[in-house]
Structure 1
Amino acid sequence: MLQILVSTDFSNNSYNALYYAARLFMNKECIFHIVNVCSTENNPDMEKAKLDSSQGLDALVHRLVRDVGENKKHSFKKVSLCSDMTKGVAEYAKANKADLTVIGNKGQEEIKHILFGNNAMQLVREITSCPVLIVPLEIDFKKVDKIAFTSNYARPIAEKNIKALQFFSGLTNSAIVPMVIEENKDDRTAKKNKTDFLRAISENSSKEVALPVFDGKVNTILEFVDLWSIDMLCMVYYPHHFFLEFIGKGIIKELNTKLKVPFLILPNS
């Protein structure tokens, strides 16, 4: 049985993430751990915060069942945490062996200056035990037919991450579309890593798409997602490598404001 963690602050974006996850895993047996960080450990009003959180979680599940319909394959564990927001959720994910953490992205009008909002980016950094799925606020649920995977292959793609990508491909009956931005073409290590990865996913994938950087990497990725009708974008999170390149220079901020498909982030293994 899959263990799906969904972090909520009772906002529209966090509900949209829960709704998307319930639809995505409609045919899978799942326990949804709906986690609300309601206060800090030293809050003198902790008991009231817990009560308010519990009532909010009850209402949230009721709303979900009303919107999606009752699903006997799904059960819900409602959790109110009194802790630091990011560390509490990350520790809960690890302790309860979550298979996936789902986070709602902020709407474009809510974004101030950083990727996914502060809490979501911190969660991406803190959660290293399972993949993280970022769900944009302003999307309706639709069938996933194509999952894009992009990397510069400077490091090998871990077997665990290959299996996670293949799981999502099987779950949605979708094709994996490998995409690479053409740079460092003569890097032998990157070539080997890419060859190994493409061989591993060959049964699930389409032909690789290689693109030059024609108007910055963000626009290259966005054009690719749009032109190839990509339904989900996937990358591996390397804290000090490829992904950091996207965090730097405001690139992920721009991706966040424009990317209109769910973003699956695999942990560095």
Structure 2
Amino acid sequence: MLQILVPTDFSNNSYNALYYAARLFKDKECTFHIVNVCSDENDPDREEAKVASAERLEALVHRLVRDVGANNDHFFEKVSLCSDMTKGVAIYAKEQKVDLTVIGNKAKEEIKHILFGNNAMQLVRELTSCPVLIVPMEIDFKKVDKIAFTSNYTNPIAEENVRALQFFSGLMDSVIVPMSIEENKDNGAARKNKTDFLGSISEKSSKEVSLPVFDGKVNTILEFVDLWNIDMLCMVYYPHHFFLEFIGKGIIKELNTKLKVPFLILPNTPN
């Protein structure tokens, strides 16, 4: 049974992520861990906060069942935590052996640089034990026909991440579209990493798309997503290597500010 974590602050933003997850996994047996961080450990009113949180979590599940319909394969754990938001959720995910965390990002009018708030960016950094799926608030659920995977292959793609990508591809019989930006042409290790990865996904993938940088990497990726009608974008989070450039310097933040499709971030899992 899949274990899926959906943090919630009871906003429309977080509800949209939960709704999307319920639709995406409608044919899978899942336990949804709906987690609300209602106070910190030192809050003198934390017990009252937990009671109020529990009531709202109960109402949230009723709303979800009303909106998507009852599903005998879906089960719900409603959890109120008194802890630091990011560390508490990350620790819970690891203890429960969560397979995926689903987060919503904010609507354009809510914050200038959408992302999904600083807390969620910290979650991406803290949640090293499972993939994170970021769901744009302004999208309607639809079938995922094409999943784009982009990397410069400086590091090998871990087998666990290959399996995760294949799993998502299998959910709705999606085609994986490998995309690379033209660089590292003289890097033999990167070429080998790419060849190994493309071989591992060959049964479910289209031909690789290799693009020059048109107007910065972000705009190149966004244009690719738009022109190739991509339904989900996937990357690996390398905090100290290639994606130091992508995440540490804010490119993933900028991507998610403008990205109109779900964004799957895989953890840096050693082979």
TM bracket, shorter-chain basis: over 0.9
Normalised by the size of structure 2, how large is the TM-score?
Answer: 0.97
Q: Matches of residues 5-44 of structure 1 in structure 2 within 5 Å? A: 5-44=5-44
- Extract unaligned runs of 5+ from structure 1: none
**Contact 2:108–2:114 (CA under 8 A) maintained in structure 1:** no
Q: CA deviation at 1:246?
A: 1.8
Maintained 8 Å contact 2:36/2:79: yes
Is 1:203 aligned to 2:188, yes or no? no
Alignment of 1:156-171 (within 5 A): 156-171=156-171
1:103 counterpart = 2:103: yes
Q: Secondary structure at the match of 1:101?
A: strand
Contact 1:39 1:81 in 2 (8 A): yes
1:47 offset after TM fit, Å?
1.0
- Partners of 2:20 and 2:211 lie apart in 1 by 30
What is the identity, as a one-letter code, of the residue corresponding to 2:233? L
Q: Which residue of 2 aligns with 1:137?
A: 137
Question: What is the RMSD computed on CA atoms of the aligned residues?
Answer: 1.0
1-structure distance, mates of 2:103, 2:226: 23
Tell me the equivalent position of 1:177.
177
Match of 1:237 in 2: 237
Q: How far is 1:116 from its partner? A: 2.7
1:93 paired residue number: 93
Q: Distance in 2 between matches of 1:255 and 1:9?
A: 24
Trace 1:10-89 onto structure 2 (pairs within 5 A).
Answer: 10-89=10-89
Gaps of 5+ in 2: none
Deviation (angstroms), 1:263: 0.4
Note if contact 1:111-1:257 (Cα within 8 Å) is conserved in structure 2.
Answer: no
Count of residue pairs brought into register by the alignment: 269
Tell me the distance in 1 between the aligned counterparts of 2:167 and 2:95: 22
Q: For the residues of structure 2 that align with 1:199 and 1:164, how far apart are their CA atoms?
A: 16
Residues 10-48 of structure 1 deviation map (CA, whole Å, 9 limit, x = unaligned): 011100000000000000000000000000000001011
SS of the residue corresponding to residue 97 of structure 1 reads: coil
Q: What letter corresponds to residue 151 of structure 1 in structure 2? A: S
Task: Confirm or deny: 8 A CA contact 1:104 1:135 kept in the other structure.
Answer: yes
Q: Secondary structure at the match of 2:179?
A: strand
Q: Flag as ranges the 4+ runs of structure 1 deviating above 2 A.
A: 111-116, 247-254
Describe the SS at the equivalent of 2:101. Answer: strand
In the TM superposition, what is the alpha-carbon distance from 1:99 to its structure 2 partner? 0.5
